[in-house]
Amino acid sequence: MGIFKALGRLVKRTSDMGEGAIDNAADKMLTANESSIRAQYRKVREDLIKNHTTIRSSVANLMAINEEKKAETADLEKKLKDLETKKLGAVRKFKETNDAKYQEAFTEYANQATSTTEKIAYNNELIKTNDANIDKFKRQLTTIQQKINDIKSQEDQAVADITSAKQITKINDMMAGVTTDTNMQGLQVIEEARKKALAKAKLSTELSGNSAASLDDELMAAGNSANDEFARMLAEEEAKG
């Protein structure tokens, strides 16, 4: 029965290989290039194919053994039928002759029939167990074959997803860098200088305008004072008259 346990362990290990191998390599794959990703999937696929071939060969051997047991059982059943016929013949001959040799022959045939019946029962139980295991292994082989077929599409999808994710990250980094780019900083400096220059020019204009207005006011005041004095003196002279 050891072959069944061995096959069971091998099938289970192979069935889990697709997910397990990919999971164990996930971190490396996320940072690898496309060639590395495809190499990993290729390795998993090759391992699956290798194990599928090994299991299929073992199942084929088990099927061959089962067929041998079925053929052997068929022969034993024919032998048992012949033994039962001989037993009956021994009984009839003993009845006719009362010869002890026929009784001894009956005993020998009976012992052989018992042994043959036990062998048939053992073979039938073994065949039944083998048939159940063969059906199970066939289903598991079909599952492994499906995994092998799926590897290619999984590979292409993984490459597309990881490549896209890297490009998105790269673009996001580039977009984030635009706001702190040195050229943008340089434009900000120029903008600040422009604002300061405009402010200085405005102040200068305002100051120049205030100076001219003050001088005009001063002269106007002086002129007004002189006219007032002249009018006053002229009035005084005319009064003396």
Rg over alpha carbons for the chain, rounded to the nearest Å, is 56
Burial of 216 (0-12, 13-18, 19+ CB in 10 A): exposed
8 A C-beta contact, residue 51 and residue 21: no
Question: What CATH architecture is 2-180?
Answer: Orthogonal Bundle (1.10)
DSSP string covering 37-58, please? HHHHHHHHHHHHHHHHHHHHHH
pTM for the structure as a whole: 0.52
pLDDT at position 203: 73
* Contact yes or no for 2/132 (Cβ under 8 A): no
Query: What tens digit of pLDDT does each residue of 38-92 get?
Result: 777 888 888 888 989 988 999 999 999 999 999 999 999 999 999 999 999 999 9
Output the DSSP codes for 152-185. HHHHHHHHHHHHHHHHHHHHHHHHHHHTT-HHHH
> pLDDT higher for 8 or 220?
220
Mean pLDDT of the chain: 79
pLDDT at position 35 is 75
